[in-house]
């Protein structure tokens, strides 16, 4: 595998390094610690042979990356996507190192993925892919080593297959080694929708800090999947008008506000927001130009580039996706006075719920749903306060402040533990 720090094209890993370097300079952390954080702790690349339904053997490529595990075991999702590669997974793992630090969780950063198109796989092929991938990365997994969770194109069903495979390999129950599991095998009621809840908490905090009214405000959401779908309901319930929503196949717009329930029914039947009767047809790329107080990118990385930043019509961006804004776009948004709540803060609700699930599995007891919800909100509120306060202290953007908070916390842990031997 190529060195994840190498390469000519600017990509997700380059973006992480650029922001990490800026945070190191901003906070003045030890240069030795800075150098350590610029290289992932380990990058495992594996072949994933799968017998397809027609009998031929297809060999996919998968990865599991540990960026830094000083603060605790690796934590991060597994994604199945045609664009997955080592540099992207390394960037996402580094993002988890920083995200768990901002959220104050006792975890390090990890991430995994398989380069495949899950939409082209049958259910049986998807299960065999998951199980073989699990076998290949199993040496890295465990409740005190690395705890995977769902991510793009994976869900509770995939986590159940992973759990079962790992249990067969270990010869014992390993419920504490996986989060995002179905309720029937030790999952938690609060995991589904936790990322969306965290985004809403961060949006509330941003609107309060900026003196904006959330109720009656307009919102646009890019993506209507596991995060964007529930978020549309939450924003509407909070009194906002969700005026535009897009997905990979289309977009819909209604200045008076879209009906999230009706749109969800449409998507369940059609597989896309395109063609929704309750809104007008617009091109997915036009969503950025819809006037709104809030914009939530909830799809894949790099969607908000320089071109989009120059024509974005929203006043506040809350990043529900991982790495949706490029570094160059950050500068444009800052110059235009558009406030961005970064992903390592805004979408930390998911990993926080995963932490709660991990803790419950270790305790052998299920928390009450209202207890989990209250703890999730409180955790996100505390993280928001910390980042906004650091931004004011340093007189920098929220992203730079969030990276500063994270880097300082990780650096403190590395300094306390030292370097072995």
- Summarize pLDDT for 268-301 with one digit per residue, the tens: 999 999 999 999 999 999 999 999 999 999 998 8
List the structure tokens of 127.
């299960």
Predicted pLDDT of residue 382:
98
β-bridge mates for residue 65, sequence order: 43, 111
Average pLDDT over residues 30-39: 98
Among 282, 320, 315, 316, CA closest to 301:
320
Predicted pLDDT of residue 228:
95
- Please list, residue by residue across 349-361, b when 16 or more beta carbons sit within 10 angstroms of its beta carbon and e when fewer do: bbbbbbbbbbebb
Per-residue pLDDT for 122 more than 80?
yes
Average pLDDT over residues 252-270: 96
Query: Could you report the per-residue pLDDT of 50-108, keeping only the tens digit for each?
Result: 999 999 999 999 999 999 999 999 999 999 999 999 999 999 999 999 999 999 999 99
Q: Distance between CA 407 and CA 394 in Å, rounded?
A: 14
Per-residue pLDDT for 5 more than 70?
no
List the structure tokens of 318.
């809350």
Query: Could you report the per-residue pLDDT of 157-195, keeping only the tens digit for each?
Result: 999 999 999 999 999 999 999 999 999 999 988 788 999
**Nearest 5 degrees, angle CA 396-CA 36-CA 16?**
45
Among 221, 224, 257, CA closest to 239:
257
Number of other residues whose CB lies within 10 A of the CB of residue 391: 20
The mean predicted confidence, pLDDT, of the chain is 95
Predicted pLDDT of residue 4:
43
Burial class (CB in 10 A: 0-12, 13-18, 19+), 55: exposed
Number of other residues whose CB lies within 10 A of the CB of residue 291: 12
Lowest mean pLDDT among 58-67, 122-131, 299-308, 373-382: 299-308
Among 263, 394, 397, 248, CA closest to 317:
397
Please, what are the domains in the chain?
35-175 (3.40.50.10860), 194-341 (3.40.50.720)
The set of residues, in sequence order, having a beta carbon less than 8 Å from that of 371 and lying 6+ positions away, is: none
* pLDDT tier, 420 (very low <50, low <70, confident <90, very high otherwise): very high
Contact 89, 16 (CB under 8 A): no
Look up tokens 């990780």; give the residue. 410
- Sequence-ordered alpha helix ranges (H) in 271-397: 306-311, 327-335, 343-346, 349-363, 369-394
For 364, list phi and psi in degrees, rounded to 5. 75, 30
Number of other residues whose CB lies within 10 A of the CB of residue 364: 9
Average pLDDT over residues 303-310: 96
Average pLDDT over residues 130-137: 98
The length of the chain in residues reads 421
Per-residue pLDDT for 401 more than 80?
yes
Look up tokens 């819909």; give the residue. 252
Query: Could you report the per-residue pLDDT of 137-149, keeping only the tens digit for each?
Result: 999 999 999 999 9
Q: Distance between CA 219 and CA 290 in Å, rounded?
A: 9
* pLDDT tier, 366 (very low <50, low <70, confident <90, very high otherwise): confident
Query: Which residues form the catalytic set?
Result: 111
Q: At what angle do helices 86-102 and 349-363 cross, to 10 degrees?
A: 80
The answer for 366, left when phi > 0, alpha when psi is -120 to 50, beta otherwise, is: beta
Average pLDDT over residues 323-352: 96
Q: Distance between CA 195 and CA 176 in Å, rounded?
A: 20
Per-residue pLDDT for 7 more than 80?
no
Lowest mean pLDDT among 5-14, 274-283, 310-319: 5-14
Among 84, 90, 140, 137, CA closest to 113:
84
**Is the preceding peptide bond at 158 cis, omega within 30 degrees of 0?**
no
**Nearest 5 degrees, angle CA 63-CA 69-CA 72?**
120
**Is the preceding peptide bond at 421 cis, omega within 30 degrees of 0?**
yes
Lowest mean pLDDT among 186-190, 207-211, 237-241: 186-190
Beta strands in 132-235 (DSSP E): 146-150, 218-222
pTM over 0.85? The answer is yes
Q: Distance between CA 342 and CA 88 in Å, rounded?
A: 18
Q: Radius of gyration (Cα) for the chain, nearest Å?
A: 21
Look up tokens 């920098």; give the residue. 396
């Amino acid at each position: 595998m190529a060195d994840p720090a190498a390469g000519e094209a600017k990509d997700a890993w380059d973006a992480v390094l650029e922001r990490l370097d800026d945070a190191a300079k901003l906070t003045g952390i030890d240069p030795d610690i800075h150098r350590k954080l610029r290289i992932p702790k380990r990058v495992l690349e594996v072949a994933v042979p799968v017998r397809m339904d027609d009998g031929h053997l297809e060999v996919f490529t998968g990865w599991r990356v540990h960026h830094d595990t000083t603060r605790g075991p690796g934590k991060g999702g597994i994604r199945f996507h045609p664009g997955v590669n080592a540099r992207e997974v390394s960037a996402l793992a580094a993002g988890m190192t920083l995200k768990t630090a901002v959220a104050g969780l006792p975890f390090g950063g990890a991430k995994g993925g398989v380069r495949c198109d899950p939409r082209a796989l049958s259910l049986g092929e998807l299960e065999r892919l998951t199980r073989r991938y699990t076998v290949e990365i199993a040496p890295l997994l465990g409740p005190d080593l690395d705890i995977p969770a769902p991510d793009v194109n994976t869900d509770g069903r995939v986590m159940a297959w992973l759990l079962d495979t790992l249990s067969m390999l270990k010869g014992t129950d390993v419920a504490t080694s996986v989060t995002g599991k179905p309720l029937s095998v030790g999952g938690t009621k609060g995991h589904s929708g936790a990322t969306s809840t965290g985004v809403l908490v961060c949006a509330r905090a941003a609107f309060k800090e900026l003196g904006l009214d959330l109720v009656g405000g307009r919102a646009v959401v890019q993506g209507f999947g596991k995060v964007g779908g529930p978020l549309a309901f939450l924003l509407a319930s909070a009194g906002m008008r969700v005026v535009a929503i897009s997905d990979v196949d289309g977009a819909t717009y209604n200045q008076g506000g879209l009906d999230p329930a009706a749109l969800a029914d449409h998507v369940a039947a059609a597989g896309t927001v395109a063609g929704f009767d309750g809104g007008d047809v617009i091109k997915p790329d036009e969503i950025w130009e819809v006037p709104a107080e809030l914009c939530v990118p909830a799809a894949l990385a790099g969607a908000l580039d320089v071109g989009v930043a120059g024509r974005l019509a929203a006043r506040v961006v809350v990043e529900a996706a991982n790495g949706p804004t490029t570094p160059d776009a950050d500068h444009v948004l800052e110059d235009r006075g558009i406030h961005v709540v970064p992903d390592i803060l805004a979408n930390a609700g998911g990993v926080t719920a995963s932490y709660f699930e991990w803790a419950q599995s270790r305790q052998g007891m299920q928390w009450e749903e209202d207890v989990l919800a209250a703890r999730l909100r409180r955790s996100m509120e505390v993280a928001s306060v910390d980042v906004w306060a650091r931004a004011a202290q340093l007189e920098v953007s929220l992203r730079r402040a969030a990276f500063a908070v994270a880097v300082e916390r990780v650096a403190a842990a590395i300094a306390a533990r030292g370097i072995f031997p």
